[in-house]
């Protein structure tokens, strides 16, 4: 089925001069649902930290890590020459340009600092946070589709979307592919894992699985996604997104190998 992109208004709610965009709503929804779900996961093992309150207090740092890391990552990984010439443009986050890989680094830094400050396991915090991240990814990719950005490569198949601003050729709706794989499927995988008590006690395993499976899913969808215009394909065969996923996947494999072979964490009361 070929259909024409309806050109949604990027502004979801307009209240006089106040404009709330779909992308902002996606971030807000992802943070709120992830925050509530993270506290629910923390509550499963009473006596272990991070506790429900620890997750509650961590939310502002997570937001800062995502926004600062995501913007800095985009500047460094995707458009550095432009921002070297116009450095003040890097501050205009509302005009778009966020990198998931940069946001990941920002969140990792915030988790390291927070867990050291509050004196509890970084790996357990990472497991809880990573189990929640696909919620935000799902809504973020849906917002990408509504905005008509990050669209796919041209397709000759029977399934495609005509993004009029990108020509008359039907294209893969790669944003929706990512919403399904990086959002829904990844959420199911990680939450089946974190609900398993034995896996949960090998702290860091869920975080390692997140890095591995996100890297696999993102690398796969990149074959259908139009490369960034200012970069294109590196060496005419690999995108920047795929290149950045390689260390993610390797790190995920190493973390899982380490956590599954190390001694379990101290069991909370009521478990054996």
Neighbouring residues of 96: CB distance < 8 A, sequence distance ≥ 6: 23, 147, 149
In-domain check, residue 151: yes
Query: What's the pLDDT score for residue 264?
Result: 63
Q: Is residue 167 part of a domain?
A: yes
- Whether 147 is in a domain gets the answer yes
Nearest Cα neighbor of 187 from 253, 235, 140 is 140
- Higher pLDDT residue, 272 or 95? 95
pLDDT tops 60 at residue 271: no
- 229 within a domain of the structure (yes/no): no
Q: Can you tell me whether residue 148 is helix, strand or coil?
A: coil
* Residue 101 counted as domain residue: yes
Write out pLDDT tens, residues 190-247.
999 999 999 999 999 999 999 999 999 999 999 999 998 878 888 888 999 999 999 9
Q: How many helices (H) and strands (E) does the chain have?
A: 10, 4
Q: What confidence score (pLDDT) does residue 272 get?
A: 46
pLDDT computed for residue 16 by the predictor:
79
Domain count, the chain: 1
Q: CA dist 109 to 6, 66, 122, 126, 152, Å?
A: 39, 10, 11, 11, 32
Q: Is residue 89 part of a domain?
A: yes
Q: What is the pTM of this model?
A: 0.90
What residues make up the domain containing 115? 2-192
Residue 58, CA distances (Å) to 36, 39, 166, 234 in order: 12, 10, 41, 37
Taking only the tens place, the pLDDT of each residue in 123-133 is: 999 999 999 99
Say if 95 falls within a structural domain.
yes
pLDDT digits (tens, 9 = 90+) for 137-161: 999 999 999 988 889 999 988 889 9
C-alpha span between 25 and 140 (Å, rounded)? 9
Confidence of residue 265 (pLDDT cuts 50, 70, 90): low
Residue 155 within any structural domain of the chain: yes
Strands 160-162 and 2-4 turn out to be parallel
Distance between CA atoms of 71 and 73, rounded to whole angstroms?
5
Strands 11-15 and 18-21 come out as antiparallel
What count of other Cβ atoms lies within 10 Å of the Cβ of residue 176? 17
170 vs 158: CA distance, rounded Å: 9
């Amino acid at each position: 089925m070929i259909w024409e992109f309806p050109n949604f208004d990027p502004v979801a709610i307009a209240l006089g001069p106040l404009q709330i965009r779909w992308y902002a709503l996606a971030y807000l929804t992802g943070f709120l649902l992830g925050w509530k779900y993270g506290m629910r996961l923390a509550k499963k093992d009473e006596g272990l930290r991070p506790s429900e309150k620890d997750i509650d207090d961590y939310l502002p740092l997570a937001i800062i890590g995502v926004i600062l890391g995501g913007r800095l990552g985009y500047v460094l990984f995707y458009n550095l020459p432009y921002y070297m010439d116009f450095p003040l443009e890097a501050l205009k986050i509302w005009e778009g340009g966020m990198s998931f890989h940069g946001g990941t680094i920002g969140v990792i830094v915030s988790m390291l600092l927070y867990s050291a400050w509050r004196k509890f396991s970084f790996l357990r915090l990472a497991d809880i946070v990573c189990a929640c991240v696909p919620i935000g990814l799902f809504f973020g990719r849906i917002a990408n589709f509504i905005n008509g950005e990050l669209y796919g490569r041209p397709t000759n198949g029977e399934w495609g979307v005509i993004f009029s601003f990108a020509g008359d050729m039907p294209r893969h709706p790669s944003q929706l592919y990512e919403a399904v794989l990086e959002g829904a499927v990844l959420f199911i995988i990680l939450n089946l894992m974190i609900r398993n008590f034995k896996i949960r006690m090998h702290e860091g395993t869920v975080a390692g699985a997140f890095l591995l499976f996100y890297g696999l899913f993102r690398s796969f969808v990149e074959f259908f996604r139009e490369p960034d215009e200012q970069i294109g394909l590196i060496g005419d065969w690999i995108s920047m997104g795929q290149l950045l996923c390689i260390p993610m996947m390797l790190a995920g494999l190493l973390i899982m190998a380490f956590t599954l072979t190390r001694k379990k964490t101290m069991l909370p009361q009521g478990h054996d």
